[in-house]
Amino acid sequence: MDILIEGQVMEIPPSSEPAKKDRAVSLEEIELDVLCEAIYRYYGFDFREYARSSLRRRVRNLLELEKLPSVSALQDRILHDKQIMERFLLNLSINVTSMFRDPGMYLSLRRNVVPMLQTYPSVRVWHAGCSSGEEAYSMSILLEEEGLKKQCKIYATDFNEAIIKKAQSGVIPLSVMREYTGNYQRAGGKKSFSDYYTAKYDNAIISPALRTPIIFSRHNLAIDGSFNEFNLIVCRNVMIYFNDDLRIRVLQLLHNSLCRFGILVLGNKESLRFTPLEKHYKELDGPNRIYQRID
Amino acid sequence: MSGKFIAIGTSLGGVKALSTLFAGLPADFSVPIAVVIHRAPIEYDYLIESLQKSTVLNIEEASDKLPITAGRIVVAPADYHLLVNEQQYALSLDAPVEYARPSINVLFESVAEQYGTSALGVLLTGGGNDGVQGMQRIKRCNGTVLIESPDTAQDPTLPQAAINAGVASTGYRLDQIIGKLTQHC
């Protein structure tokens, strides 16, 4: 047996030498596995079934931001420093969102879905993965203009508490409002968009009346279950960050939360194609990914 | 990793270069191809229809979780990054990279990591710098890199940037690239 002399570095060969070229990548894969497992066990957030390619990119971006040399180093910081964990969550939950993103979808909702919703005495809408709330506020505007506001409740949920608070505040940088105005008009908006906010310094404050029908709360699609039955569920560009197993589970969760003939809206480049849920839906508007549950 | 995978990146002049490239590939070409071409996020640009005219191979725009299939050419949609996971394409709305979404770097880096030595990165005509880092990643993972010659590219900036960065010592004409792809795959 070798005697370890202080200051001398002992090289430990890996038990079975993998091809050198693959080693760096697979080591990082192991570190990512361990990081996700550690976060799940310590904080309860479950990223174990997130799509690896995107997760890897986001973690690498964070390593650069925090000036850390490896995923293991990040894991050490995350487990011992709550603030780093919060930055990690923010990094994983900030999704690009804008008011009336994909205006054609909102126009189609007005034409193809609203007439059906108008026949219901009460309408429940769920925005799953609402991020900073822009799309939930868009829905609130649309429902008001279509005379549905009184009988409507919008549940807007996200897994990140900080993002939910931001959404609740209804504060949006004024600089992006011009783009949103264009979206609003192309989405079939019936008024002047500026009626819905007041400008204050560099921000737009969403009108309190638009916030009334919205209930913001925390819900984690990867862990939590169904909590109500809805007439309309909007879950756009959330499942693109999940792997296939998690996506199918979440689709099933949304399915279980949707009433018969209820409407499911996905992101413009998401689809029910090749999923077991496909047969339970018909396309109301294919390109805009508006589906109706048929059984 | 199983099977080869070709990732192509281009911007200015890309539609013409891609059409020429696809026209030269045989009908039984059996390697999956993913393409990032910088495009504006307008509502409809007829890019897929236009490219489809050049080839009998099936071209389609990527949707999230689309299965990776041999001989099918998949193009990144406007305003989304395109990535690969095991057996499936993936999309992301993460911030633009080098001002681009879709970004060539994002596709190339994920292909490098998923396919390693089986990855082929092809960088064609274009401006800017997006794609250079991705080519370097493919090279580091011991994949193959091919650059269009700055002499024949409609916009030599991007191929030249890749050569200057040491990705490869020389570029090739499109017909030479076609030859290499057919021979490799």
Looking at the predicted structure, is the pLDDT value of residue A10 above 60?
Answer: no
Report the mean per-residue pLDDT for chain A: 91
CB pair distance less than 8 Å for A240 and B83? no
From chain A, the residues in CB contact with B85 under 8 A are 51-53, 243
- pLDDT at position A233: 98
B117 touches A: beta carbon within 8 Å: yes
| pLDDT tens, residue by residue, B49-62 | 999 999 999 999 99
| pLDDT tens, residue by residue, A223-256 | 999 999 999 999 999 999 999 999 999 999 999 9
- pLDDT at position B183: 87
Looking at the predicted structure, is the pLDDT value of residue B173 above 60?
Answer: yes
**Nearest CA-CA distance, residue B91 and chain A, Å:** 6
pTM of the model: 0.90
- The nearest alpha carbon in chain B to A94 belongs to B94
- pLDDT at position B1: 38
A265 — phi, psi (to 5°)? -120, 125
Q: Can you tell me the mean pLDDT for A263-281? A: 96
Give residue A250's Cα distance to chain centre.
12
CB pair distance less than 8 Å for A21 and B117? yes
DSSP strand pairing (A290-293 vs A258-266) = antiparallel
Strand partners, B146: B122
A156 — phi, psi (to 5°)? -110, 120
Residue A259 has a CB neighbour count (10 Å cut-off) of 15
Q: Can you tell me the mean pLDDT for B116-136? A: 96
**pLDDT-derived band at A284, boundaries 50, 70, 90:** very high
CB pair distance less than 8 Å for A240 and B90? yes
Q: Can you tell me the mean pLDDT for A137-151? A: 96
- Known active-site residue B184: no
- pLDDT at position A14: 54
- pLDDT at position B41: 72
- pLDDT at position A1: 42
| pLDDT tens, residue by residue, A33-46 | 999 999 999 999 99
**pLDDT-derived band at A18, boundaries 50, 70, 90:** very low
From chain B, the residues in CB contact with A185 under 8 A are none
Q: Shortest CB distance from A54 goes to which of B83, B116, B117?
A: B83
For testing the chain A interface, which of B63, B108, B117 should be mutated: the one with the most A CBs within 10 Å?
B63
A20 touches B: beta carbon within 8 Å: no
**pLDDT-derived band at A209, boundaries 50, 70, 90:** very high
Q: Can you tell me the mean pLDDT for B97-105? A: 94
**Nearest CA-CA distance, residue B113 and chain A, Å:** 7
- pLDDT at position A93: 75
Looking at the predicted structure, is the pLDDT value of residue A258 above 60?
Answer: yes
ipTM of the complex as predicted: 0.89
**pLDDT-derived band at B119, boundaries 50, 70, 90:** very high
In sequence order, the 6+-apart residues with CB closer than 8 A to the CB of A188 are A103, A106, A107, A110, A111
| pLDDT tens, residue by residue, A46-101 | 999 999 999 999 999 999 999 999 999 999 999 999 999 999 998 887 667 899 99
* Catalytic one of B11, B54, B103, B118: B11
Q: Can you tell me the mean pLDDT for B27-35? A: 95
- Known active-site residue B94: no
CB pair distance less than 8 Å for A56 and B113? yes
In percent, the amount of chain B with pLDDT more than 70 equals 97
CB pair distance less than 8 Å for B94 and A267? no
Looking at the predicted structure, is the pLDDT value of residue A12 above 60?
Answer: no
**pLDDT-derived band at A108, boundaries 50, 70, 90:** very high
- The nearest alpha carbon in chain B to A93 belongs to B94
- pLDDT at position A97: 82
DSSP strand pairing (B5-10 vs B33-37) = parallel
CB pair distance less than 8 Å for A25 and B92? no
CB pair distance less than 8 Å for B64 and A269? yes
Write a three-state SS string for A123-172.
EEEEEECCCCCHHHHHHHHHHHHCCCCCCEEEEEEECCHHHHHHHHHCEE
From chain A, the residues in CB contact with B86 under 8 A are 52
| pLDDT tens, residue by residue, B68-96 | 999 899 999 999 999 999 999 999 999 89
Q: Can you tell me the mean pLDDT for B15-38? A: 96
What token pair was written down for B147? 């650059």
Q: Can you tell me the mean pLDDT for A159-170? A: 93
B106 touches A: beta carbon within 8 Å: yes
Nearest in space to B76 (alpha carbons), one of B64, B61, B88, B58: B61
* Catalytic one of B54, B110, B130, B149: B130
- How many beta-carbon contacts under 8 Å exist across A and B? 69
